Amino acid sequence: MPALPEAPGPKGHFLLGVLPEIRKYELDYLTRLVREYGDIFRVKVVNIPAYVISRPEYIESVLITNQKNFVKSVYLRESKALFGHGILTSDGSFWREQRRMLQPAFHHRQIARYSRVMAKRVAGMLETWRDGEVRDIHADMMNVTMEIIAQVLFGEDIAEETREIGEALKVFFEQFDDRFGLYAIPEWLPTPGNLRYRRAIRRLNEMVNSIIRRKQAIRQDSGDILSALLNARDEGGQEMTTSQLRDEMMTLFFTGHETTALALTWTWYLLAQHPPAMQRLTEEIDKVLEGRHPTFEDLPNLPYTEMVMKESLRLYPPAYAVVREAVEDCEIGGYRIPAGSTVAMFQWAVHRDPRYFERPDEFRPERWEGDFQKTLPRCAYFPFGAGPRLCIGDGFAKAEVPLLLAAIAQQYRMELVPDHPVLLSPSLTLRPRNGVKVVIRKREPAAARGAGTGPA
């Protein structure tokens, strides 16, 4: 390869690189850099050089056309304590084999079955809501999506364990962000944080392993993902080991509720600030459902609901960045990308690029009308990633988010609590820092118009 120039970028601190700025200004800093340096720039985070690319063609080359030269990055490897060698963090032939074994569980037909669990759980949640209450909608969406994924994965009623797994995951993530860069406290030090972190992982392992053992003892297909995986075989006819099962269950438990909960949370946050969009959404839901509870089969008839979801995933992508590591030296946009460097692609920035989205900071679900998406370059909008590592659960999410949205909007609208600022907390996913507090208002009389049939 001819000598290629080094991409431009901020100099940063001689030792820490731009870590202090990232810690302090988070996504605002990224936005500033994209504005200043454009489609590709280089930053150093402590001793790791990273290239931030924001042009859809460059992203396409990393995720699709030249994807063989890129593996999952250091950042995701750091989360191996939680996900082990699960499908999210593994690479190469091991990943391919795991993906092949998991894929049937995400077939359209299966999603239609899971949607009954979704409908039942959201109805259960709504029964506990009362008009005029102040609720943390992030906590609610986390709870309901966690109940859904627990039942879809494990089948049996594990309400108690689900709550505990949720608690342990919360502790894990509280400590997770402290594990990066020079500020990181070494994991072997017995600090209270480290001890809590280790305890949370131990507890997660114990719980998931015990559910797996129970299922292994019964060995019957009970329609859940775990029992399907117990019967899955790789190309050599081998079944998954208990530790593989544990890793995949933990991966799916996390990925299967965290992101959809956030998609719903940010959608409510946006709808609460845009009454005309909420109005159009409820008009569609009332007209199509006529008071019935929404089902999977209704989704194609709820186009505006889908546009609301798309627009929310554009502005607040729960997975706000996709990160890879270059295996060999390569070229992007005329610049040299040395082997071992990190390449980061931020949906957060690309989804707000005025070259592709008119008035990009505005919430305008209508922009998705007609063929708009087809006019976009391939990776200008990629909330679920792209290429072979495209989210395996995108069909699941595209059913769960509108289904829950419709079920809730049929009965309630929301107002933001004025003295509760909503702050972003970009960690492994894009979370609200202190939740999203809303007052819920029962919709009358539209909600009462038809009691409808209950979910199956």
Cβ-proximal residue to ligand HEM, closest one: 393
322 binds ligand HEM (CB under 6 A): yes
Binding mask 110-149 for ligand HEM (x = CB under 6 A): ----------------------------------------
Scanning 171-179, 259-267, 414-422, 438-446 for contacts with ligand HEM by CB under 6 A, the matching segment is 259-267
Where is 80: in which H helix or E strand? Answer: helix 80-83
212 binds ligand HEM (CB under 6 A): no
- Give the span between the Cα atoms of 411 and 440, in whole angstroms: 10
User: C-alpha angle 306/310/315, rounded to 5°?
Assistant: 150
In the complex, minimum distance from the CB of residue 404 to ligand HEM, in angstroms, rounded to a whole number: 11
267 binds ligand HEM (CB under 6 A): no
Of 256, 294, 435, 455, the one binding ligand HEM by CB under 6 A: 256
Residue among 3, 46, 133, 37 at smallest CA distance from 415: 133
- Give the span between the Cα atoms of 95 and 389, in whole angstroms: 10
Q: At residue 381, what are phi and psi to the nearest 5 degrees?
A: -135, 110
Q: Which is nearer to ligand HEM, 76 or 168 (CB)?
A: 76
Q: Which tokens go with 383?
A: 């909330």
Residues in a beta bridge with 343: 51, 324
304 binds ligand HEM (CB under 6 A): no
252 binds ligand HEM (CB under 6 A): yes
Q: Which is nearer to ligand HEM, 76 or 281 (CB)?
A: 76
Of 61, 259, 295, 341, the one binding ligand HEM by CB under 6 A: 259
- Give the span between the Cα atoms of 251 and 306, in whole angstroms: 26
- Give the span between the Cα atoms of 350 and 348, in whole angstroms: 6
308 binds ligand HEM (CB under 6 A): no
Residue among 122, 186, 184, 187 at smallest CA distance from 151: 122
Q: Which tokens go with 438?
A: 């809303």
Q: What is the DSSP letter of 23?
A: H
Of 126, 148, 263, 405, the one binding ligand HEM by CB under 6 A: 263
Scanning 169-177, 267-275, 390-398, 434-442 for contacts with ligand HEM by CB under 6 A, the matching segment is 390-398
Q: Which is nearer to ligand HEM, 277 or 319 (CB)?
A: 319
Where is 21: in which H helix or E strand? Answer: helix 19-37
Residues 251 and 83: beta-carbon distance below 8 Å:
yes
260 binds ligand HEM (CB under 6 A): yes
- Give the span between the Cα atoms of 333 and 410, in whole angstroms: 48
393 binds ligand HEM (CB under 6 A): yes
Buried b (16+ CB within 10 A) or exposed e, 360-375: eeebbbebbeeeeeee
Residue with token string 């999977």 = 296
Q: Which is nearer to ligand HEM, 18 or 391 (CB)?
A: 391
CA trace torsion 395, 397, 400, 403 (10° rounding): -80
22 binds ligand HEM (CB under 6 A): no
Where is 246: in which H helix or E strand? Answer: helix 242-273
Scanning 178-186, 197-205, 231-239, 393-401 for contacts with ligand HEM by CB under 6 A, the matching segment is 393-401
Q: Which is nearer to ligand HEM, 40 or 148 (CB)?
A: 148
Buried b (16+ CB within 10 A) or exposed e, 97-120: bbeebbeebbeeebbeebbebbbb
53 binds ligand HEM (CB under 6 A): no
Of 165, 249, 319, 436, the one binding ligand HEM by CB under 6 A: 319
In the complex, minimum distance from the CB of residue 367 to ligand HEM, in angstroms, rounded to a whole number: 19
Helix (H, G, I), strand (E, B) or coil at 50: strand
Q: Which is nearer to ligand HEM, 351 or 437 (CB)?
A: 351
Scanning 135-143, 199-207, 381-389, 409-417 for contacts with ligand HEM by CB under 6 A, the matching segment is 381-389
Whether residue 49 has a cis bond before it, omega within 30° of 0 = no
Binding mask 333-372 for ligand HEM (x = CB under 6 A): ----------------------------------------
Q: Which is nearer to ligand HEM, 357 or 384 (CB)?
A: 384
What single letter denotes the amino acid at residue 353? D
Of 115, 251, 282, 312, the one binding ligand HEM by CB under 6 A: 251
For binding to ligand HEM (CB under 6 A), which residues are involved?
Answer: 87-88, 99, 251-252, 255-256, 259-260, 263, 318-319, 322, 383-385, 389, 391-393, 396-397
